[in-house]
Homo-oligomer: A and B are copies of this chain.
Amino acid sequence: MPGEFAFIDWLRARTSASARVLVGPGDDTAVIAPGSRSQLVTVDMLMDGTDFHLAEVGPRAAGRKAMAVNLSDIAAMAGIPTAAVASVALPSGHGRRLAEQLYLGLRDVADAFGVAIVGGDTNSWNHPLAISVTVLGEATERGPVLRRGAKPGDWLFVTGPLGGSIRGKHLTVTPRVHEALRLHEAAELHAMIDISDGLAADLAHILEESRCGAVLDAKAIPISADAAELSLTSGKTPLQHALGDGEDFELLFAVSSADGERVLRDQPVPGITLSKVGECIDFGLWLETDGVRTKLDPVGWVHPL
């Protein structure tokens, strides 16, 4: 994953994660030295046939995705990931290669973010692969960014083009860990979430926790080339893909209008374009097209496979 990790030295200078792992795999329980900041913990389980097709993508890509989606959850809090544990139910009959490739996939992404894999539990059975990854992290001095905290008048931004991740991005996504930390230094983030269920659905999560509403600007939503490509055969518009598709793992965040103007002008995160997609209002979830507002369903994400 070259290029994507331009911030890695910058991140390493801000954390001593690896040095804090006192006891890793070997004992049943790992030991991590205490930190002075709030601890973060997140878990996601991925299953063959639901989150990927193992026979098509192979175990290394599955391992990468399993680690990446969890790091994305840490990124959503503008946290620094520190350590991870993984448990797996391996389909029997594949020998060691499957486990090794899966582990290498986990390591690919963990190493790129300075995350130590400190423990795990390996099992096998006569059923498809299931892998669960738990990632620990810590908040920065500014504290974790939550879903709650958006206010009417706030501007809403996303960190990249949306839609059509099923065409491949969902497997190769780079979690926005570094970008979130840089953003957190550049502006006061009122609320943030990673877009895993889809823009409309994840915005609805923020609104629910923040007890406010929002209006999205249809023309301002950045649409990915994948969404455009997919629309040729899907019967949906590119915009519908950008609003409803899941697993983009871009960040959606709310800042004050003053911070928003600055963010839009200064573009403080190298390598990506921050797009203003809408504003928070008192209540409701709306899509505005050519000055006309229509009610937007927080369309539940339809799983890509």
Contacts and interface: CB of A to CB of B under 8 A. Distances in A.
Interface of A: 22-23, 26-45, 47, 49-50, 73-74, 76-77, 79, 83, 85-89, 118-121, 123, 125, 127-128, 130, 132, 134, 136-139, 144, 146-147, 193-194, 196, 209
A84 to B, nearest CB: 9
B86 A28 contact: no
Given A85-B41, A119-B41, A28 B193 contact: yes
A85 B42 CA distance: 7
Nearest to A22: B38
A199 to B, nearest CB: 16
Nearest to A74: B29
11 contacts: A26-B209, A29-B74, A29-B76, A32-B38, A32-B41, A34-B37, A39-B39, A43-B87, A44-B87, A47-B89, A127-B128
Contact of A39 (B31, B44, B196): B31
Binding site secondary structure of chain A = strand
Nearest to A145: B27
A144 B86 contact: no
A30 to B, nearest CB: 5
Contacts of A88: 45
B29 A42 contact: yes
A210 B128 CA distance: 37
Q: Which of A50, A79, A118 has the most CB of B within 10 A?
A: A50
A30 B40 contact: yes
Given A89-B47, A127-B128, A130-B89, A42 B23 contact: no
Given A32-B39, A34-B34, A47 B77 contact: no
B147 A26 contact: yes
Nearest to A87: B45
A12 to B, nearest CB: 21
Contacts of A132: 43, 45, 87, 121, 132, 134
A44 to B, nearest CB: 5
Contacts of A209: 26-27
Contact of A85 (B32, B79, B134): B134
A141 to B, nearest CB: 12
B39 A144 contact: no
Given A43-B85, A43-B132, 19 more contacts: A23-B144, A27-B77, A29-B40, A29-B42, A29-B73, A29-B137, A30-B40, A30-B41, A31-B139, A31-B144, A32-B38, A34-B35, A34-B36, A34-B138, A43-B87, A44-B121, A45-B87, A47-B125, A87-B134
A147 B32 CA distance: 16
Nearest to A77: B29
A26 B136 CA distance: 17
Q: Which of A38, A88, A121, A147 has the most CB of B within 10 A?
A: A121
